[in-house]
Amino acid sequence: MSRVKAVIAEDEANLREELRETLAAVWPELEIVAEAADGDAALQALDQHAPRVLFLDIQMPGADGLEIARRAGARAHVVFVTAYDRYAIAAFEAGAIDYVLKPITASRLEQTVNRLKARVGEAPADLASLLTLLHSHLEPKREYMRYITALHGDEIRLITVDEICYFHADNKYTRVVTADRESLIRRGIGDLLQNVDPAHFWQIHRSTIVNINAVSGVARDFRGYLQVRLKARKETLAVSERFAHRFRQM
């Protein structure tokens, strides 16, 4: 059998890399012929390379994953990649397509690969009715918090979310920690979770939300508990068992 060609469409560079590396581990024969950071580039890759498999983020700049899947028609097998389990996951499980729920795990992706290997020689399923169903459940793209005002001594600071390494609950306040300083806000962890982008900010403990882009790695302490290491800070952050699955591949 000739090598199977695939395209990855994901707007986050680190997640594209993670998906590519995990696929290389669980399906080394798969040929990634193109990667796209937005929906328009994904459509161009579809027309240029005619891949047999498409890995599509549901929400991207430009055309979203559902529109790309519709345009793919019966030309490619589609695997949706999503950070949200509210997108009718049960429908994916029952249909001819599959999904990968972020954060990606090798074991879950291996299931997807096994399903694709079994069907890659067949004609891709007609997704029209399923895509109509999913479009009806797809929420409009929401605007997440882009900056926050925080108290630092007698000064009120304006901090962009990209600067933030992590949030940590501290009595009546929450500490906002950047590379070079800490500030205080009167917002709880639960409220912050509703307003930060879940693709970038992961809860790792009942009192801690970390910016995944600020993470350099994960290690286990002498008791076997996971600790997050940061790129720009010396301290490590504890990961509770409830959230340890997020770091299985690190």
**What integer pLDDT is reported at residue 178 of this predicted model?**
97
Name the domain boundary from 137, 170, 195: 137
Rounded to an integer, the average pLDDT of 50-55 is 93
Q: Which residue has the higher pLDDT, 130 or 220?
A: 220
**Given this model, what pLDDT does residue 137 score?**
62
Q: For position 96, what pLDDT does the model report? A: 44
Q: How far apart are CA 1 and CA 26, in angstroms?
A: 18
Domain assignment present for residue 142? The answer is no
Boundary (domain end) residue, out of 111, 137, 163: 137
For residue 210, the enclosing domain spans: 147-247
Residue 16 lies in a domain: yes
Q: pTM of the entire structure?
A: 0.55
Number of Cβ within 10 Å of residue 246's Cβ equals 20
Domain end position, chosen among 97, 112, 137: 137
Least confident of 28-42, 63-77, 79-93, 219-233: 79-93
Q: How far apart are CA 212 and CA 214, in angstroms?
A: 5
**What's the whole-number average pLDDT of the chain?**
84
DSSP for 23-69, written as a single string: HHHH-TT-EEEEEESSHHHHHHHHHHH--SEEEEESS-SSS-HHHHH
Q: Does residue 86 register a pLDDT over 60?
A: no
> pLDDT higher for 248 or 149?
149
More confident residue, 135 or 54: 54
Over residues 22-42, mean pLDDT:
92
pLDDT tens for each residue of 91-131: 454 444 677 777 788 888 898 899 899 888 888 876 666 66
Q: Are residues 122 and 163 in the same domain?
A: no
Cβ-based neighbour number of residue 111 at 10 Å? 13
pLDDT digit string, tens, across residues 194-210 = 899 888 999 999 999 99
Q: What total number of domains does the chain contain? A: 2
The type of residue at 150 is A
State whether 36 and 153 are in the same domain: no
Cis amide leading into 103 (omega within 30): yes
User: Which comes out higher in pLDDT, residue 189 or 12?
Assistant: 189
Percentage of residues of the chain with pLDDT beyond 70: 85
Q: Which residue has the higher pLDDT, 248 or 198?
A: 198
Burial environment of residue 143 by CB neighbours within 10 A (0 to 12, 13 to 18, 19 or more): exposed
CATH code of 231's domain? 2.40.50.1020
Taking residues 170-174, what's their average pLDDT? 89
Residues 6+ apart with CB under 8 A from 131: 66, 69, 70
Residue 143 binned pLDDT confidence (cut-offs 50, 70, 90):
confident
* Residue 84: per-residue pLDDT: 62
SS3 244: helix
